[in-house]
Structure 1
């Protein structure tokens, strides 16, 4: 049989070569290893810096904002300032029509004058009453002397005594009138002072130096101060120092402490990173749609004047940091290879870390890319991108971070794809 095949090959060398190539091709496709559909991506363990942040957002506010209101009612006749106007303490910002209050001042002055005239009349009456009293005292003394010698009847002496008592009572009445007139003067004076104070208050003045950041009135506006003081202007006393009022989620508030450093950006200057510091963590909870947060006050220097009240700040509160430590990408602590590639319990695989000892499980690359080695490591500071490894890994080792698909993409997937088709198991 073999001789016949050999003879045929000699007679048909071309066909023999074709048949041989086809046979080799078929055998190769049957025996070649299957192309894997995925691969594991790794990252190298290195030394570097780790920063742990708490992200939040908040609004910029002036450190000291003053609401300027009106204590009297009336119509605004003049407004001397506008938005962004710098003002100094005592500067007149607006004027309320003083006509009504001026009339009250005139009425108060008239009341004071009337009370003073009443006092002068009471004093004149008192002087006359004292003169009458002196006269009655002399008259009674003479009549009593005559009555003692028997030259005057008892009835005439009683009449003189009655007149003396009446004169004394008249003096007391006039003194009471004087006291009443003086009280009326004080009352009218108090009312006059109040009216003059209201007249002064028709000039709305700045209580402190700063910048007008809000104006709520225009000439012709009527303000009513009957029940509460209406706000007319808002002054930022010093915009070189501002604060951010940030809402921090209850899950993160335990990491935030006074004095921690903060970095933030605002939409107006996306390339600028501003530095700040936590001044206060308020303990009063703020609940919105069943989400509890806490207000954190952050001090900001605004010497360049770029920041404006009301801007939204995207905040990163630095709650922990370390320099030049062994670190791994944080996703490596959460990544798990496919079940078929993991070590089994028989050969020591699938170890369970002790979270109380701050242990975590990572998978280290080996010579076989589909047989990674599970390893327990002790971790330290946990950041968003990297986590400190205290023990269990050395710089230079490679850890698995994610899975990459090697399946050929369909035309539709290729058109819709915007990057690598990566997925973690």
Structure 2
């Protein structure tokens, strides 16, 4: 100690510098640590937890009927327009019937010709029957005379030949009658077909509804040679509609018939409409290596606000708990700064949340058991109680940053 004191006396400047450095080291070691962030917490509450599957789809009428033309020709008149209410049997359009009317008249003439041929055949059959009777009596008379020796065998043979000719003529006339009757049946069938085609020049509504699409204009020509051309689309009943939505294969396992659905459309962004899952179609649809399944939703549209073709942004409720102990979903993803984390490691497979401790930067870890997980909240079955403060994010307090600007929700990752 005497030597140290002597050295200090000999070197006062160096001694002062060393003392100052030591004082600075002690101050830096003992002064309170400053932070440029704070933890933000939210309380554990009781309330509703809802799990949803989101998707998008199109609104369709429950029964959309495509009305086409079964005959070819030029459209002479269109009687309806878009959004026109129609009744079953109402005329929608007409095709020029001139050609088909001529065909009907031709078929009627063929029927008349066939009936005249039948009358002629009947008359010929009457004459043939009369001839057969006359020749039958002549042959019997010749046979009796030949038996008594009053006439020759040649005369008997001639009478027999005349009888055979008359009988052949009668058979021929009978065949002509059958042919004439068949021609009548054929002509009448052609007349019926022509009249049917003529009636089809008037395109009528097969059911009551609303015209939602018109694909024809007056003066246009339709050709029904190979397939029926579609002229109109009629929505049979727009008071009830359906949404056809595609659900990803990762979510389809949670969707079941009867689940409640809510959706919005761009036309009414502030309105939320209700629907119910009616059908889950098992045929997979693959688009760009993404597999999805078509889900059909029933929609009540009594007010008529929804229109076919609208895009629906769908939320299918796959789970709901009315009064659950819950925490924000961000609490399960939140991790404190590395230096603030507790040293213990949570059990494998468990969920960990962090609650505010006695020291602001020393949060306490809580191991919790979770249940239904929704988009905003997660059900907590054990490990927390109502009123506990769980950490959900950090907020920067650095001078150059706005106090309300948030950093990432802690440091994500494993423990």
With normalisation by structure 2, the TM-score equals 0.90
TM-superposed CA distance for 1:405, in Å, is 2.4
CA contact (8 A) 1:405 1:423 kept: no
* Equivalent residue runs for 1:337-356 within 5 Å: 337-344=336-343, 349-354=344-349
TM-superposed CA distance for 1:278, in Å, is 0.4
Partners of 2:115 and 2:392 in 1: how far apart?
96
Partners of 1:338 and 1:177 in 2: how far apart?
109
CA contact (8 A) 2:394 2:406 kept: no
CA contact (8 A) 1:105 1:196 kept: yes
* Equivalent residue runs for 1:354-365 within 5 Å: 354=349, 359-365=350-356
Which residue matches 1:260?
Answer: 259
TM-superposed CA distance for 1:400, in Å, is 1.5
Which residue matches 1:403?
Answer: 394
TM-superposed CA distance for 1:28, in Å, is 8.1
Match of 2:308, SS state, is coil
2:377 aligned with 1:386: yes
Match of 2:384, SS state, is coil
Partners of 2:186 and 2:35 in 1: how far apart?
102
* Equivalent residue runs for 1:120-139 within 5 Å: 120-139=119-138
Partners of 2:365 and 2:140 in 1: how far apart?
130
TM-superposed CA distance for 1:31, in Å, is 5.5
Q: 1:420 aligns with which of 398, 405, 410?
A: 405
Q: Which whole-Å deviations, capped at 9, do the CAs of 1:5-38 have from their partners, x for residues lacking one? A: xxxxxxxxxxxxxxxxxxx9xx989964232122
2:276 aligned with 1:277: yes
Partners of 1:31 and 1:50 in 2: how far apart?
48
2:358 aligned with 1:367: yes
Cα 1:317–1:202 shift into 2, 3 Å: same
Match of 1:422, SS state, is coil
Match of 1:218, SS state, is coil
Which residue matches 2:327?
Answer: 328
Q: Which runs of 5+ in 1 are unaligned?
A: 1-23
Match of 2:89, SS state, is coil
Q: Which whole-Å deviations, capped at 9, do the CAs of 1:133-172 have from their partners, x for residues lacking one? A: 1111111111111111111212221221122122112111
Q: Which whole-Å deviations, capped at 9, do the CAs of 1:313-365 have from their partners, x for residues lacking one? A: 11110001011110111111122222222222xxxx220343xxxx4222222
Match of 2:345, SS state, is coil
Kindly report the root-mean-square deviation, in angstroms, between the aligned alpha carbons of the 2 structures: 1.9
Match of 1:401, SS state, is strand
Q: Which whole-Å deviations, capped at 9, do the CAs of 1:209-256 have from their partners, x for residues lacking one? A: 011110111110100000110010110110000000011111111111
Match of 1:389, SS state, is strand
Cα 1:404–1:352 shift into 2, 3 Å: farther
Match of 2:246, SS state, is strand
Partners of 1:152 and 1:420 in 2: how far apart?
141
Match of 2:83, SS state, is coil
TM-superposed CA distance for 1:399, in Å, is 1.2
Q: Which runs of 5+ in 2 are unaligned?
A: 1-22
TM-superposed CA distance for 1:288, in Å, is 1.3
Cα 1:275–1:380 shift into 2, 3 Å: same
Partners of 1:353 and 1:119 in 2: how far apart?
100
Which residue matches 2:185?
Answer: 186
Which residue matches 2:175?
Answer: 176
Which residue matches 1:205?
Answer: 204
Match of 2:195, SS state, is helix
Match of 2:358, SS state, is coil
CA contact (8 A) 2:122 2:177 kept: yes
Match of 1:374, SS state, is strand
CA contact (8 A) 1:353 1:376 kept: no
CA contact (8 A) 2:77 2:93 kept: yes
TM-superposed CA distance for 1:173, in Å, is 1.1
Which contiguous aligned blocks of 4+ residues in structure 1 show a shift greater than 3 angstroms? 27-32
CA contact (8 A) 1:353 1:361 kept: no
Which residue matches 1:96?
Answer: 95
Which residue matches 2:55?
Answer: 56
CA contact (8 A) 1:362 1:377 kept: yes
